[in-house]
């Protein structure tokens, strides 16, 4: 497919990219090839810092990406006590002049302060106005608005309500996350006031994603009714595809019955689960071999394509939609 003409927004101007499409950072999914393919396709590739451990591997993958693409890329850093490596991850990212850092699950204050005056910009995951205003006041460069229906740890509010609401109250560039799979969702997000989209679930079903074929098939075969929201996987409420393995995990047990009686204890155990899943030893980490994270947009994903094809088709469909809208 011939490369479509650029789509200009505040996001593309900020990072000198052709299309306002960011390949979302996904735990145990985003790899070097996905990041590079997203950059080379005219968008931006990202990955979670904790996908590459020990820290020497983290620095190496940053250097490898820089040597193989001129496009902008980003790294998601969990800014929470459960991440013992966040300071070192931030230090290396600044040293390597990573274009974008995306903070999640905590306060980005330290990240924003330490990147001030550097070549690294900071976008923050938000799910509502209160946090959005706080990070804007702290000096964030942009927001990733995580709406309901997003894969992994989504928000609780529809993007149809959240994008224009935040657009009205904050001045930062907005990236829409949640069911952003194609040209239709890109057109809708930009019409509502977003400056770009986060594409996650869609690029799991890509040729570059190094996940099991069963995972990709589950995404292609699933509909929104097959997505279950639960905190039983890693301690945080998240969206996952209903599978036999997930159904086994969701069966009530004595521990959960006890936890339900005490919110403080339940939160402590949830944090412990999260720490083990994200940062624990290899044998304790969450595995996509038995849990498949995905968003409600799975019903609009019908085949496995390369990231280049996905991005180009998204832009072509976006332009066709603009042309075909009623006058």
Distance separating alpha carbons of residues 285 and 296, to the nearest angstrom:
24
Distance separating alpha carbons of residues 184 and 192, to the nearest angstrom:
12
Task: State the first-to-last Cα distance of the chain, in angstroms, to the nearest integer.
Answer: 29
* pLDDT over 90 percentage in the chain: 76
User: Which of 64-73, 169-178, 279-288 is least confident?
Assistant: 279-288
Reading the block at residue 92, the tokens are 């290396």
Q: To 10 degrees, what angle do helices 307-324 and 32-40 make?
A: 40
Distance separating alpha carbons of residues 154 and 79, to the nearest angstrom:
17
pTM: 0.89
Q: Quick one: average pLDDT of 281-293?
A: 63
Name the fold adopted by 10-211+300-320: TIM Barrel (3.20.20)
Reading the block at residue 91, the tokens are 């230090």
Q: Quick one: average pLDDT of 67-85?
A: 93
For residue range 97-117, list pLDDT tens digits in order: 999 999 998 899 999 999 999
- pLDDT of 13 higher than 90: yes
Reading the block at residue 181, the tokens are 């799979």
For residue range 219-271, list pLDDT tens digits in order: 999 999 999 998 878 777 889 999 888 888 777 665 555 555 655 655 555 55
Distance separating alpha carbons of residues 102 and 121, to the nearest angstrom:
9
Phi/psi zone of residue 89: left (φ > 0), alpha (ψ -120 to 50 degrees), beta?
alpha
Phi/psi zone of residue 236: left (φ > 0), alpha (ψ -120 to 50 degrees), beta?
beta
Domain residue ranges of the chain, discontinuous segments joined by + = 10-211+300-320, 217-284
């Amino acid at each position: 497919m011939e490369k479509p003409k650029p789509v200009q927004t505040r996001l593309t101007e900020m990072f000198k990219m052709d299309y306002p499409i960011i390949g979302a950072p996904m735990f145990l999914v985003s790899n070097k090839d996905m990041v590079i393919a997203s950059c080379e396709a005219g968008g931006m590739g990202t990955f979670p810092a904790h996908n590459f451990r020990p820290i020497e591997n983290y620095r190496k993958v940053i250097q490898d990406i820089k040597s193989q693409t001129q496009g902008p890329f980003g790294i998601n850093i969990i800014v929470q006590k459960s991440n013992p490596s966040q300071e070192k991850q931030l230090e290396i990212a600044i040293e390597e002049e990573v274009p974008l850092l995306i903070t999640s699950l905590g306060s980005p204050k330290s990240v924003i302060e330490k990147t001030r005056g550097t070549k690294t910009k900071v976008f923050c995951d938000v799910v509502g106005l209160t946090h959005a205003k706080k990070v804007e006041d702290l000096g964030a460069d942009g927001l990733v608005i995580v709406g309901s229906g997003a894969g992994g740890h989504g928000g609780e509010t529809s993007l149809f309500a959240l994008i224009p609401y935040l657009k009205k109250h904050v001045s930062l560039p907005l990236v829409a996350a949640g069911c952003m799979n194609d040209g239709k969702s890109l057109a809708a997000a930009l019409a509502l006031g977003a400056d770009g989209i986060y594409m996650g679930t869609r690029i799991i079903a890509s040729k570059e994603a190094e996940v099991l074929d069963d995972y990709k098939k589950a995404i292609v075969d699933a509909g929104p009714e097959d997505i279950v929201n639960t905190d039983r996987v890693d301690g945080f409420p998240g969206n996952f595809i209903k599978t036999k393995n997930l159904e086994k995990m969701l069966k009530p047990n004595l521990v959960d019955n006890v936890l339900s009686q005490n919110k403080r204890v339940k939160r402590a155990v949830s944090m412990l689960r999260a720490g083990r899943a994200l940062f624990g030893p290899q044998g304790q980490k969450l595995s996509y071999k038995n849990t498949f994270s995905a968003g409600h947009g799975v019903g609009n994903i019908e085949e496995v394509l390369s990231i280049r094809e996905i991005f180009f088709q998204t832009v072509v469909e976006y332009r066709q939609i603009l042309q075909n809208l009623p006058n």
